[in-house]
C-alpha cells in the first residue's frame, strides 16, 4: 500500500487543470509538451502540475528517448477512494477514524 498523507492527494485532486491533465492522460501516456498542445496552458505550468501529481503518486514518469511521458496510476485513485469510503462508513457508525488522519497519522 502507498499509505501516503491523503490530504495532499485531495489537494492535488482539487484543481480543474489537473483533472484536465488526468483526462488527457486517460487517452494515453503523454509528455508535458504534448499536453501543452492540447490544453490552454503553458508547458511549464503543466510540468508543475505533473510534479504535484507525481508527488502524491497519482502519476508516474516514463522516459522515452529524450522525452518524459506520464502515465496515470488508477490504483492510487481507487486506494484513495477506499480510504475515503472507510472514513464515511465509520462516521455513520459514530466512530472517529478521521481523528487519526487529522492528527497527522
Partner DNA sequence: ACCAATTGCAACTTCAGGGTTGCACATCGG
Partner DNA sequence: CCGATGTGCAACCCTGAAGTTGCAATTGGT
16 near 23, Cβ under 8 Å?
no
Stretch that binds a copy of itself, among 30-38, 46-54, 62-70, 83-91 (CB under 8 A): 83-91
The span from the CA of 75 to the CA of 1, in Å, is: 10
Query: Should residue 51 be labelled a site residue for a copy of itself when binding is judged by CB under 8 A?
Result: no
Binds a copy of itself (CB under 8 A): choice among 51, 62, 64, 98: 98
Residue ranges binding DNA (CB under 7 A): 15, 17, 31-34, 40-45, 47-49, 52, 65-69
Query: Should residue 77 be labelled a site residue for a copy of itself when binding is judged by CB under 8 A?
Result: yes
Scored b (16 or more CB within 10 A) or e, 37-47 reads eebeeeeebbb
Amino acid at each position: 500500500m502507498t499509505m501516503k498523507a491523503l490530504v495532499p492527494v485531495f489537494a492535488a485532486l482539487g484543481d480543474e487543470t489537473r483533472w484536465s491533465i488526468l483526462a488527457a492522460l486517460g487517452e494515453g501516456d503523454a509528455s508535458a509538451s504534448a499536453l501543452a498542445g492540447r490544453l490552454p496552458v503553458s508547458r511549464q505550468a503543466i510540468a508543475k502540475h505533473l510534479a504535484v501529481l507525481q508527488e502524491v503518486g497519482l502519476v508516474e514518469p516514463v522516459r522515452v528517448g529524450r522525452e518524459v511521458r506520464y502515465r496515470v496510476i488508477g490504483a492510487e485513485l481507487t486506494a484513495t477512494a477506499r480510504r475515503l469510503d472507510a472514513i464515511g462508513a465509520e462516521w455513520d457508525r459514530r466512530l472517529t477514524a478521521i481523528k487519526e488522519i487529522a492528527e497527522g497519522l
